[in-house]
Structure 1
């Protein structure tokens, strides 16, 4: 009898803890943010990046570029000797996802991420022609390149990588530069490929922001990155990592060829893919749902 009474008492206590003060069941909260909250978070991150002192912006851009070279190296290392194409792409993508995870978690400033964050902020704020916005965009791009070259130089000086790595790297560079032989058509193909690449990276930022724990953020980063690496879509920040190693280890391509026949058209495509197809598209779609201090006051609010 005593055991039965204890069981009844425990059951009663459980029911009480499962109900709130109004008598409804207190269900656990969501483990992710809904889309309107994600877009709102984009805008706030864009504002925070823009309001940092210039030295912080530039240092974080250099850090992000550094992580791109680390990701490029890891993607090549994991793929060495793998002959099965699907596994090759999977391992290569997982390797590069490490670089992006370091960028997203550390708060570093990556050009292709800014293409998503800043338009979300600017969409809800007047005064788009302020010089500091474009100064920030340009300094981020330059900082990413400097960071990528810096790490590539350190790795070359360390003499840590073996000959199979450079053989595999040469194959990666050929895939990135194959458009160069197509003339104007190839330039346009890179631009379109860049649109797709930053569309995917924008969704990586979307999924990463949605997650509330570190595991979810890693998974959110990984899936779109594996896809863009496997598809050989031209992502300017990622290519900075590969090209930095290529400039210092091979004379097959000149530095200006990397810039003119890949980075410039890819960067233009990245701006379109991240800024329009992710940031502005979702900002417009969810503009009625976004509750943020960034935008204009709603009609019900007092001005």
Structure 2
């Protein structure tokens, strides 16, 4: 059977979270950097497909290829460790501490940003012929995304901030299901199918993913979009990170842990007789 049952899945997720907490600094940063780079390249690909075809759904359908590749290669996204490492803490694994969880989050954040920013620079070179000409239509589209998802939220004030935070929550609800999906099947086709669906959904719905934004917004700034670094941090990245954290924990990690890792038999559950009980009953009948 390729399918991994939820009761076994949650154990696998806890084990994965524990291993990431104890991973070396070098391995954590390198894996996170490669994850950020692959996801950013997939985002650039999706935007290119959407612009050149005029069909946004086509870009959303193809975007998950980056997510799938990075998880098959064992790389890490911040949105994934937001879900996995707290599970090891909840399960009270030996040596797992809040400090260890925060250390992992910090290293993965740095690594993801390094990878995403590297691809942002490389793609800016591609769409401007080494900054020799104005950005092509793909570069212009990336710039508009950055403006719409910073200044667009800022125009609505508190309501815009709430919307941004909720979009971050909904995003990591889907992304964390994709992370679980990488462990939900034992063969590559099964993993691909389970990961593909929620990632396609979040991208097409325009939810906010902190790592994708680490590529899109620096790209926009490099290509002359009209928003600032402060706009990016206050009106996107920071609320998105917080929304991703809350969404992944609230909608994926806690429900799976409570209902599968910590499930108890109801108090009125029937108790099956033991071998000794049966022997005593048979003895009584004979007597």
Q: CA shift at 1:175, angstroms?
A: 4.1
Alignment of 1:269-280 (within 5 A): 269-280=243-254
Alignment of 1:27-66 (within 5 A): 30-66=1-37
Deviation by residue 1:257-293 (Cα, 9 ceiling, x = unmatched): 1111011111111101112210121111112469xxx
State whether residues 200 and 225 of structure 1, in contact with CA within 8 Å, keep that contact through their aligned partners in structure 2.
yes
Deviation by residue 1:87-108 (Cα, 9 ceiling, x = unmatched): x332222332122112211111
Q: CA shift at 1:207, angstroms?
A: 2.2
Note the residue ranges of structure 1 that are not aligned, 5 or more in a row: 1-29, 291-303
* Structure 2 Cα separation of the partners of residues 98 and 259 of structure 1: 27
State whether residues 89 and 229 of structure 1, in contact with CA within 8 Å, keep that contact through their aligned partners in structure 2.
no
Asked if 1:97 corresponds to 2:64, the answer is yes
Q: Secondary structure at the match of 2:257?
A: helix
Q: CA shift at 1:125, angstroms?
A: 1.0
Deviation by residue 1:230-272 (Cα, 9 ceiling, x = unmatched): 1111111121121132121123111221111011111111101
Q: Secondary structure at the match of 2:161?
A: helix
Q: Secondary structure at the match of 1:286?
A: helix
State whether residues 147 and 227 of structure 2, in contact with CA within 8 Å, keep that contact through their aligned partners in structure 1.
no
User: What corresponds to 1:179 in structure 2?
Assistant: 153
User: What corresponds to 1:263 in structure 2?
Assistant: 237
User: What corresponds to 1:12 in structure 2?
Assistant: none
User: What corresponds to 2:112 in structure 1?
Assistant: 144
User: What corresponds to 1:22 in structure 2?
Assistant: none
Indicate which of 86, 90, 112 corresponds to 1:123: 90
User: What corresponds to 1:27 in structure 2?
Assistant: none
* Structure 2 Cα separation of the partners of residues 39 and 89 of structure 1: 34
State whether residues 69 and 244 of structure 1, in contact with CA within 8 Å, keep that contact through their aligned partners in structure 2.
no
User: What corresponds to 1:250 in structure 2?
Assistant: 224
TM-score by length of 1: 0.79
User: What corresponds to 1:167 in structure 2?
Assistant: 140
CA RMSD of aligned residues (A): 2.1
Alignment of 1:71-110 (within 5 A): 71-83=42-54, 88-110=55-77
State whether residues 168 and 244 of structure 2, in contact with CA within 8 Å, keep that contact through their aligned partners in structure 1.
yes
* Structure 2 Cα separation of the partners of residues 169 and 91 of structure 1: 17
* Structure 1 Cα separation of the partners of residues 45 and 195 of structure 2: 16
* Structure 1 Cα separation of the partners of residues 197 and 239 of structure 2: 25
State whether residues 127 and 139 of structure 2, in contact with CA within 8 Å, keep that contact through their aligned partners in structure 1.
no
Residues 174, 157 of structure 1: alpha-carbon distance in 2 compared, 3 angstrom cutoff: closer
Note the residue ranges of structure 2 that are not aligned, 5 or more in a row: 130-134, 265-287
Q: CA shift at 1:225, angstroms?
A: 1.1
Residues 180, 105 of structure 1: alpha-carbon distance in 2 compared, 3 angstrom cutoff: same
Residues 131, 288 of structure 1: alpha-carbon distance in 2 compared, 3 angstrom cutoff: closer
Residues 98, 176 of structure 1: alpha-carbon distance in 2 compared, 3 angstrom cutoff: farther
Total equivalences in the alignment: 257
* Structure 2 Cα separation of the partners of residues 158 and 227 of structure 1: 28
Q: Secondary structure at the match of 1:45?
A: helix
TM-score by length of 2: 0.83
Q: Secondary structure at the match of 1:66?
A: helix
